[in-house]
Amino acid sequence: MKLYLVRHGDARRNEPRPLSGRGIKESKKVAKHLLDMGIKISEIFYSKELRAKETAGIFSRKLGVEPSEVAGLNPGDNPRTWFKKIGEIGENVMLVGHLPHLALLLSLLLAGSDADLVDFRKSSIICLEGSGDHWIMKYFLTPEII
């Protein structure tokens, strides 16, 4: 199974925090790169926040997968909830969310702790491969390196 962790794109400061022009541009760039790589994803899950929903929509349109809003991906949510759920999914999925949640989830999957492993930039994607409690990082893409 491959797991794609995506931090939402850059957002405006005004509520409800829609993506900024930069956030849209960078998210489209990364999503197109995944399409060009031939990435296949079964499901895209995103948090309740507008910036995550809009980012998921950009990836959805490029990859042809309908996104779904789910609980447990918000900034302050406990990452252990998704740590447990991921083991039950068994398909290639994408989670679109926020810091600190995504960084903590990544740390749990790779190190089994809440170590700070990467600078998870906006509109970036980390691909993990594995199952259960054995995961490896396949790649980390940011808009700057694409």
- Where do the structural domains in the chain lie, given as residue ranges? 2-145
Helix (H) or strand (E) holding 72: none
Domain at 2-145, CATH homologous superfamily: Phosphoglycerate mutase-like (3.40.50.1240)
> Across the chain, what does the average pLDDT equal?
95
Provide the whole-model pTM. Answer: 0.96
For 90-102, the DSSP string reads -S-EEEEE-TTHH
Q: Which residue has the higher pLDDT, 115 or 39?
A: 39
pLDDT digits (tens, 9 = 90+) for 34-88: 999 999 999 999 999 999 999 999 999 999 999 999 999 999 999 999 999 997 8
pLDDT digits (tens, 9 = 90+) for 128-137: 999 888 999 9
d(C-alpha 20, C-alpha 87), whole Å: 34
| Secondary structure (3-state) at 76 | coil
| Secondary structure (3-state) at 20 | coil
Name the residue among 86, 60, 67 with its Cα closest to residue 3.
86
| Secondary structure (3-state) at 17 | coil
